[in-house]
Each structure stands twice: as structure tokens, then as C-alpha cells.
Amino acid sequence: MTVLLTGATGFLGCRILRALLADGTDEPLHVLGRGTPAELRDRVEAAVSRPEIPVAGPGAFRRLHCHSADLTRPGLGLEPGERSRITDGLTAVWHCAAQISLTGDPVTLYRTNVLGTRGVLELAQDAPAAHVLHVSTAFVAGRRRDGRVGEDDLSDAHGFQIPYEETKHTAERLVHAWCRRTGRAATILRPSLLVTDRRVPDGLPDHPLGVLARFVENALRRNSDDATWARILRGEAHGTAMTFRIPGDPAGSLNLVQADYAVEAMTRVLAHRTGGAGVHTVHVTHPQDTPVALVKSAFEARYPGTTVEITPEIPDPTPLEAAVIANTTHLSAYTTQHRTYDRTHLLQSVDGLPDPPPLDVAYLLRAMAPEAGAAPAGAPPGGLTASTGPAPLP
Ligand SMILES: NC(=O)c1ccc[n+]([C@@H]2O[C@H](COP(=O)([O-])OP(=O)(O)OC[C@H]3O[C@@H](n4cnc5c(N)ncnc54)[C@H](OP(=O)(O)O)[C@@H]3O)[C@@H](O)[C@H]2O)c1
């Protein structure tokens, strides 16, 4: 199987690439991304390498063919000769790259997520034997609050909370139109919020909960004097060193899905679908939502001196709360949605893969700070220091 992958330097794409490299073959893997081919190779190898889990086989990286490409450029910025070198013999196209900023500029989001998908589909057109896997998101359901979202549902009737959702919705429509026009087959994969309890090495893209936790930690640190910060970190001041409010529905929940499970499920979906025509859409979601109350408990376990109040309204926010509100509004709004996701296509396509276990406080604690368990009480947690700047939310 000769595969093309976009987004291999990203949080999800590098995990998909790890799985592809472990397929036990010597088939070429074409990677499209920004920078010169040499820079891209360095970034991809760094993203895929994990000291604790070696990439399959010492020669695995020899399979990689790195091509400079930019989703926002006409023809993805590829030279004509290069296009045919990439598409020759291609059997699968994984389109994983996207701009995922919840607060991003709508024009950049459109150019990357919509025009970029069009560019990838045009490239796939030159590879008649290739099956297209388009990575979308469960959040194409937009502002829909209730009910069970079907895997074949694709509606803009409820509107969208943010441009990111709308551009991913429009990209799915392009995939449908392309399949109708060409008679080709594509699979749309819709993960919910991805989460991992494995340490993400510094400088590599993190999962949304990790980014959020880092942001809140930095805001907490900036708004505390040294004595308060020490009490926040120490168990002795249980809940009394600082109380702060985060916007959201305290009785709400979020669909968080373990990235390891999501990647295994996605690769099985491809193995299951061969041939045919038209679009097959699959929710890569968790069967059970995670209560927001558990995320709150995990945060308080991480910082025993804090009490976190999740509340829909925050009158007269403190500077800390204002900073948190400015960066979490969109994520918080997801806690007010009570919709669920149908998983019929998923379960039909993953060949008996067991459902992931429910996320508990211990998992969430590791997801927020995988090194937390190793940090001595009262010491600044490893890797997260007072000087670490706030990270942008995805
Ligand atoms: N993370 C989640 O929780 C989540 C949930 C649901 C769905 N998804 C979907 O999963 C996919 C991957 O998300 P992710 O979390 O891996 O995002 P990510 O960590 O931000 O990675 C995004 C990837 O897209 C690439 N990219 C962005 N703009 C590009 C451009 N103009 N040209 C070429 N490549 C470009 C990035 O390359 P650079 O390294 O050069 O920036 C990077 O490889 C997306 O389609 C997203 O919508 C993610």
C-alpha cells in the first residue's frame, strides 16, 4: 500500500504516521508539509520518535518521501513533475492537515481547511486507485445541542459556534461533491476531542486538554505570589489557597476520546473499506461522555490548594478568571451541548476493537500533566515552570 499523508507534524498526523510505519511493509510513504523537504523530514522524524516506544524497524524512516507543500497555495505548491512522482501507484490518501485554532482568523481557516481539502482532492484525482481518508471532526454538528447525531448527518441548520467548525463542515461537503463527480470512494473520519495520558515531548503539538491545563497553570502562576503558589502546589492547604471560576455547565460533559484508540480505529476503518464508491462517514468518538465534574476533580487533584468552580456566568471576573475566560470560551461552550454521537459505522468497521474504557480522574490527571505523578509535593512540576509562557489554545 503506497500512502500519502498530510499533517504528519501534527498531534494526530504523527500518531497516524507511526501506525502506518508499523504496517510491516516497505511501501513508500509520501508526506506533504511545510518547509523544505529536509526541514520537513527533520520535523516529521522528531514528531514520530518517542524514546519509550521506538518506531517499528530501524529502516522505517527510509520509507518516508517528504515533499514541500502548503495547503493554502494553488496546487498545494507542488511542481507538476513532483505531482506525478507522488500519485504514481498511490493506494491511500490520508488528509489530516488542518488549521484547528478555535479562535483562528476565518480567512486562514477557510484557505487551509476548505481550499486545502480541494487541493488534496485534485491531487487524489490523479491517483485513480487511491482511497481518500478525510479527517474531519465530530464538531461539524456545529451548534446542535441535543439528540443523537447520525454519521450520515451533515447539516448547517443549527449554525456554527466558530469558523473552524464551519470550514470543516464545508470541507466534508467538498468530499461528497468530489465523490459524486468522479465516482470515487472516500471515508470521512470524525474524531471528537482527542486526549492522551502519554507525555508529549516539549515543542511537539499537544492535545486540547493538555494545552488548556498548561494555559490555566500559567495564568494561575502569573496571578499568585510565591507564598500562594507554594500553597496551591502543596496538599496541606486543601482548596483554600485559591478559588477561581471557569465558564461552563457544571453538570455538562465532553466527548473526549483517547488518541491511541482513535488511531487504531481509524487505521482499521481503512483496512475494512476497500473498493466501492461514495462517502462513508465514521464517528471516532467515545461511547461515554466525560463529566466536566471529573475534569474539575483532576485539576484540583493536580493543584491541591485550589477550588475550581464551573459556572455558566462569571460576574466581575478577577484578572485570572478574565484570562481563562478569554481562552476557554469556545471549549466551555461545548460543555453545554448534550448531543450524543451514533457509532454504528464505527463499530461495523473496526473488526471487534474493544471500546475504550471510560476516562477517570487518574487518566485525566495524567492527561493534564503526565509527569505530575513524579513531582515531589511542593515542588514546581517538571517541565511546567513559572516562566513557561501561555500556550495558544488549539
Ligand atoms: N486534536 C483534536 O482534538 C482533533 C479533534 C477532532 C478532529 N481533529 C482533526 O484532526 C486533524 C489533525 O488535527 P491535529 O490535532 O493533529 O492538529 P495539529 O496538531 O494542529 O496539526 C495540524 C497539522 O496540519 C498542518 N498544516 C496546517 N496548516 C497547513 C498548511 N497551510 N499547509 C500544510 N500543512 C498544514 C500542520 O503543519 P505544521 O506543522 O507545518 O504547522 C500540522 O501538521 C485535523 O483535521 C483536525 O480538524 C483534531
Which percentage of the chain shows pLDDT scores above 90? 66
Q: Going by CA atoms, what residue is nearest to atom 33 of ligand 1?
A: 70
Atom of ligand 1 nearest to the CA of 71: 32
d(CA 164, CA 198): 27
Question: Residue 386's pLDDT is what?
Answer: 27
| 285 or 299, greater pLDDT | 285
pLDDT(90) > 60: yes
- Say which range, 87-91, 174-178, 192-196, 327-331, has the weakest mean pLDDT: 327-331
What confidence tier does 275 reach under pLDDT thresholds 50, 70, 90? low
What's the rounded mean pLDDT across residues 28-47?
A: 96
Do residues 311 and 245 touch, judged by C-beta distance below 8 A? yes
- Residue 99 beta carbon below 6 angstroms from any ligand 1 atom: yes
Question: Residue 372's pLDDT is what?
Answer: 55
pLDDT(111) > 80: yes
* Residue 289 CA: distances (Å) to CA of 194, 255, 339: 13, 5, 10
Do residues 369 and 363 touch, judged by C-beta distance below 8 A? no
- Residue 33 beta carbon below 6 angstroms from any ligand 1 atom: yes
Do residues 221 and 303 touch, judged by C-beta distance below 8 A? no
Q: Going by CA atoms, what residue is nearest to atom 44 of ligand 1?
A: 98
d(CA 329, CA 42): 35
Do residues 162 and 107 touch, judged by C-beta distance below 8 A? no
pLDDT 10s digits, 236-265: 667 777 888 998 999 999 999 999 999 999
Q: Dig out the grid coordinates for 188 from the structure.
A: 470521512
Question: Residue 240's pLDDT is what?
Answer: 78
What's the rounded mean pLDDT across residues 35-59?
A: 85
Cα 248 to averaged position of ligand 1 atoms, centre (Å): 26
Gap between the terminal Cα atoms of the chain: 32
Radius of gyration of the chain (CA): 21
What's the rounded mean pLDDT across residues 269-290?
A: 89
Question: Residue 392's pLDDT is what?
Answer: 30
What's the rounded mean pLDDT across residues 129-135?
A: 96
- Residue 140 beta carbon below 6 angstroms from any ligand 1 atom: no
pLDDT(104) > 80: yes
Do residues 45 and 11 touch, judged by C-beta distance below 8 A? no
Do residues 91 and 1 touch, judged by C-beta distance below 8 A? yes
What's the rounded mean pLDDT across residues 214-228?
A: 86
The pick from 4, 12, 40, 359 for probing ligand 1's pocket by mutation, whose C-beta has the most ligand atoms within 8 angstroms, reads: 12
What's the rounded mean pLDDT across residues 259-280?
A: 89
What confidence tier does 178 reach under pLDDT thresholds 50, 70, 90? very high
- Residue 255 beta carbon below 6 angstroms from any ligand 1 atom: no
What confidence tier does 391 reach under pLDDT thresholds 50, 70, 90? very low
DSSP one-letter string for 38-71: HHHHHHHHHHH--TTSPPSSTTGGGGEEEEE--T
Atom of ligand 1 nearest to the CA of 191: 6
Cα 138 to averaged position of ligand 1 atoms, centre (Å): 15
Atom of ligand 1 nearest to the CA of 72: 31
- Residue 70 beta carbon below 6 angstroms from any ligand 1 atom: yes
DSSP one-letter string for 78-107: --HHHHHHHHTT--EEEE------TT--HH
Cα 304 to averaged position of ligand 1 atoms, centre (Å): 34
Residues 6+ apart with CB under 8 A from 302: 213, 365, 368, 369, 372
- Residue 188 beta carbon below 6 angstroms from any ligand 1 atom: no
Burial of 275 by CB count in 10 Å (0-12 exposed, 13-18 middle, 19+ buried)?
exposed
User: Measured in whole angstroms, how far is the alpha carbon of residue 365 from the centre of its chain?
Assistant: 18
What's the rounded mean pLDDT across residues 222-244?
A: 81
d(CA 131, CA 149): 25
| 275 or 330, greater pLDDT | 330
- Say which range, 68-72, 195-199, 261-265, 319-323, has the weakest mean pLDDT: 319-323
What's the rounded mean pLDDT across residues 344-365?
A: 96
Do residues 67 and 78 touch, judged by C-beta distance below 8 A? yes
Q: Dig out the grid coordinates for 78 from the structure.
A: 507542488
Helix (H, G, I), strand (E, B) or coil at 9: coil
- Say which range, 13-22, 245-254, 376-385, has the weakest mean pLDDT: 376-385
pTM for the structure as a whole: 0.92
